[in-house]
Homo-oligomer: A and B are copies of this chain.
Amino acid sequence: MHILIIGAAGMVGRKLTAKLVTDGIGGRPAEKLTLVDVVIPDSPAGFSGAVSAHEMDISTPGEAEKLIATRPDVIFHLAAIVSGEAELDFDKGYRINLDGTRYLFDAIRLANGEDGYKPRVVFTSSIAVVGAPLPLSIPDDFHLTPLTSYGTQKAISELLLADYSRRGFFDGIGIRLPTVCIRPGKPNKAASGFFSNILREPLIGEEAILPVPLDVRHWHASPRSAVGFLIHAAEIDLDRVGPRRSLSMPGVSATVGEQIEALRRAAGEKAVKLIRHEPNEMIMKMVAGWAPGFEARRATELGFTAEKNFDEIIRVHIEDELGGKLG
């Protein structure tokens, strides 16, 4: 099986690559990996198959065609400008998050017209496709009401994915990722970064800044769950999914205060004391429109699973990133 990952150098992309190397998809091994990002992705350790890694901007016309010429069986499209950056740089956000996605979909469509090529396409959408006012637990049939350019670009991509799938150009499925928490590594430009920072940094004895009030409620899943969603999406029988191809994933609905209580249980008061409150107007305004939680009934029925609470999310982080114990 030949698997293409666009956005392979990102945090989720790297974890997905590692998981595919060990597990493959649906019991079939990954024989060939094509890894693409705006910086050249690392080749995975311990992989006996072929790896082809490329530095590429898929928003450059003609680039997607080159990838599709190799006819991958499964395509994971993870590449995106994150929410904060897409809000600050209008042109870049639309170019990467909308045009890039459309170039990819059209390259597949043209290949489909040539020889009937019809890959599985797993697209990472986002809970940012909905925006306030929102119910506490958002139903699967809630309308698309993004309040950011990033959410708009993801919502548009969901619509394209559904139409191109309906037309038979590819077998597409969209995964609305909860905010991935705890993100390992350094902070990125995502406006949602603080949800991870306030746990990750104190867990290793570092300070973190909290830019919003304690009662902000949001929707989370671990990086391990995110990778699980993507692989399950690549394996699932799409006849069971039907024409509504983008699914809100399960997750944990928690306030920042509840996150901090879980941190206290895991690492004590000294960890909690490392969180510094520093209100940020721009982030507060963005977060006010974000989703507090989802019913995620369809995804749950279809076998997607996530953590049940923040204690579990912290435990996963300690296992996967900190060698199983706090220092």
A54 at the interface (CB under 8 A from B): no
Chain A positions 130 through 164: 1 when the CB is less than 8 Å from some CB of chain B, otherwise 0? 01000000000111111101001001100110110
Check B167 against A160 for contact (C-beta < 8 Å). Answer: no
Specify the chain B residue showing the minimal Cβ separation from A93: B163
Check A243 against B141 for contact (C-beta < 8 Å). Answer: no
Specify the chain B residue showing the minimal Cβ separation from A130: B143
Given contacts A141-B143, A243-B131, A244-B145, contact A160 B166 (CB under 8 A): no
Interface size for chain A: under 10, 10 to 19, 20 to 34, or 35 or more residues?
Answer: 20 to 34
Chain A positions 240 through 274: 1 when the CB is less than 8 Å from some CB of chain B, otherwise 0? 00011000000000000000000000000000000
A149 to B166 Cα, complex, angstroms: 9
9 tightest Cβ-Cβ pairs between the two chains A and B: A152-B163, A143-B143, A156-B156, A144-B144, A141-B143, A152-B159, A155-B159, A156-B159, A149-B163
Check B243 against A147 for contact (C-beta < 8 Å). Answer: yes
Contact partner of A163 (CB less than 8 A), chosen from B109, B141, B146, B163, is B146
Chain A positions 45 through 70: 1 when the CB is less than 8 Å from some CB of chain B, otherwise 0? 00000000000000000000000000
Of listed A143, A167, A244, residue having the most chain B CB within 10 A:
A143
Check B162 against A243 for contact (C-beta < 8 Å). Answer: no
Contact residues in B for A141 (Cβ distance below 8 Å) = 142-143
Check B144 against A159 for contact (C-beta < 8 Å). Answer: yes
Contact residues in B for A147 (Cβ distance below 8 Å) = 166, 243
39-94 of chain A: CB within 8 A of chain B? 90
Nearest CB on B from A99, distance (A): 10
Nearest CB on B from A243, distance (A): 6
Q: Given contacts A141-B143, A142-B143, list 4 more A-B pairs with CB under 8 A.
A: A143-B144, A144-B159, A145-B243, A147-B243
> Could you tell me which A residues sit within 8 Å of B by CB distance?
90, 109, 131, 141-147, 149, 152, 155-156, 159-160, 162-163, 166-167, 243-244
Nearest CB on B from A42, distance (A): 35
Specify the chain B residue showing the minimal Cβ separation from A161: B152
Specify the chain B residue showing the minimal Cβ separation from A134: B141
Specify the chain B residue showing the minimal Cβ separation from A243: B147
Contact partner of A160 (CB less than 8 A), chosen from B109, B142, B145, B152, is B152
Contact residues in B for A160 (Cβ distance below 8 Å) = 152, 156
A176 to B160 Cα, complex, angstroms: 20
Contact residues in B for A149 (Cβ distance below 8 Å) = 163, 167
A144 to B160 Cα, complex, angstroms: 12
A90 to B102 Cα, complex, angstroms: 14
Nearest CB on B from A137, distance (A): 14
Specify the chain B residue showing the minimal Cβ separation from A106: B94
A146 to B146 Cα, complex, angstroms: 17
A244 to B142 Cα, complex, angstroms: 13
Given contacts A90-B167, A243-B131, contact A159 B143 (CB under 8 A): no
Nearest CB on B from A155, distance (A): 5
